Amino acid sequence: MAVAFLAGAFASFAMAPFNAFPVLAVSFPVAIWLIDGTALPRPDRPAPGLWRGLAASARIGWCYGFGYFLAGLWWIGNAFLVDADQFAWLLPFAVVLLPAGLAFFTAAGFALARLIWSGGTARILAFAAALGALEWLRGHVLTGFPWNLFGYALAEEIHLAQSLSLIGAYGLTLVALIVFSTPVALTRRGGWRWPALSVAVLIGMATFGVWRLERHPTGFVDNVQLRIMQPDLPQDAKFNPALRNKVLTRYLALSRQLAADGSNGLAKVTHLIWPESAFPFLVAQDPEALKVLGDLVAPKAVLLTGAGRAEENLDDGSWRFFNSLHVIDATGTIIGNYDKVHLVPFGEYLPYQSFLESIGFEQLTKQRGGFTSGPGLRTLDIPNAPAAGILICYEAIFPGEVIDPANRPRWLLNVTNDAWFGLTPGPYQHFAEVRARAIEEGLPLVRAGNNGISAVIDPVGRIVASLPLGTSGVLDSRLPKDLPPTLFAKAGNPIIAGLFLLALLGALLGLQSYRKEPR
């Protein structure tokens, strides 16, 4: 169990910001050898019984997952230090309980693999199919949390990442599980063929990536000039209404910065973009602030900004609050709006909200009653620009669930506030996952973060321009053109299901063959 924990923790170094994906070629074989110990006979003892073996595999899987998630997600505790007087006591619980809960998915994956385990190299496919399937479930059960999917280990290198356009992050997770498990075959005669095949797969993926990148140079939309404002505002100022004027003054000053050539920075800007939850007040209910914002932009330009929004229920006079994006024109009028759909549990709402609030709990945003989820993903019309798909913070981490399928946008806009997590691996991991969505969908992605990483990304994942984490300033860029829908965008779920069924079939055939072997 201790070895499993350490192997899982070691695997976390494959994720951003370390991106040391070869560590998986050590971590996965160790996991497979540990499952061997729950399934296969040894000279000194027979193979464990089925139920005993399943229980042992589940324990090992839980320890592996706990190590992986604890080492990869410890930075979540930083959010509990923003209002330390209220939430610091919860830090150890959050840092430990979330990884402990997520580890049940790896526990189930290891147990499922044990059900179809064989003594041959086909157990590589059993391990990959079972754990990959539970990674998919992790992204969907109880609203889903597909953070640090194993496939992201291959997505940082831009040539390998192009396979996201074919099979998405879940498909790439299956590939990563197979490829980096093959060193386990080296202990058998002729076992070099499996690692050699894995190297060939990686070479094939890289070759496809070179071809795709050369085929799709970055093009730009005519007459669209973006300016992204990154204020690097301290998190404790984001929700302090007393700082209204100070915050607004800072935003205005940054937005009016001179361009790189010394000219008026806003003169040519058609779309000014501010990050998530930009204001410590409800801007839609503040006519004075709306007038100031209207005066900021040019006559035909617009401001796209994250903001809280309140809506009164006419039936009973109660209020609902939304995490939203407003489109504000030069008259100070809100001409478009999008409400966040996929809210963060415990951050923006509490499961069993009324009960937990009655005993003194509240979510980190301290919004009594929590935020209300919007009606659904939708494509938003943007004046003087192609229609956009809006993703507020956390919404961008869900593969295949970022656009309205009935009305495909021409670009994606992600406004976020990762300042909750400071200068930790969290914002780098979030950025890596956002970039993957651009490649999967074949859509350019524009990202505005309170403290970064703000960036403009083209539809094959090239970073056209960016501002680093923990800095303030503005980012001027043109808007890249989109590509036709990728194979993943058109048929993602059937492709992923087909890949998993093939891996499962290979594992079952290997199991059947193993059972026929003489002992």
- C-beta atoms surrounding 285 within 10 Å: 11
User: Which token pair is 482?
Assistant: 């989109």
Spatial strand order in the sheet of 334-339: 334-339, 319-329, 302-312, 271-274, 220-230, 473-480
* Among 63, 340, 401, 481, the one annotated catalytic: 340
Q: 288 φ, ψ to 5°?
A: -65, -45
- C-beta atoms surrounding 379 within 10 Å: 18
Q: Which residues pair with 337 in a beta bridge?
A: 326
Query: Does the annotation mark 393 as catalytic?
Result: yes
Query: Does the annotation mark 276 as catalytic?
Result: yes
Q: 420 φ, ψ to 5°?
A: -55, -30
User: Which token pair is 76?
Assistant: 């979540």
For residue 161, which of 494, 438, 428, 448 has the smallest C-alpha distance?
Answer: 438
Q: Which helix (H) or strand (E) holds 431?
A: helix 425-441
Q: Angle at Cα 293 formed by Cα 291 and Cα 298, nearest 5°?
A: 105
User: Which token pair is 264?
Assistant: 């008026």
Cβ partners under 8 Å of residue 157, min gap 6: 21, 206
Parallel/antiparallel/unpaired status of strands 445-449 and 319-329? unpaired
Cβ partners under 8 Å of residue 233, min gap 6: 247, 250, 419, 450, 451
Query: Does the annotation mark 357 as catalytic?
Result: no
* Among 276, 401, 433, 441, the one annotated catalytic: 276
Q: How far apart are CA 391 and CA 420, in angstroms?
A: 18
Q: Which residues pair with 477 in a beta bridge?
A: 226
DSSP state letter for 440:
H
* Among 135, 238, 348, 393, the one annotated catalytic: 393
Active site residues: 276, 340, 393
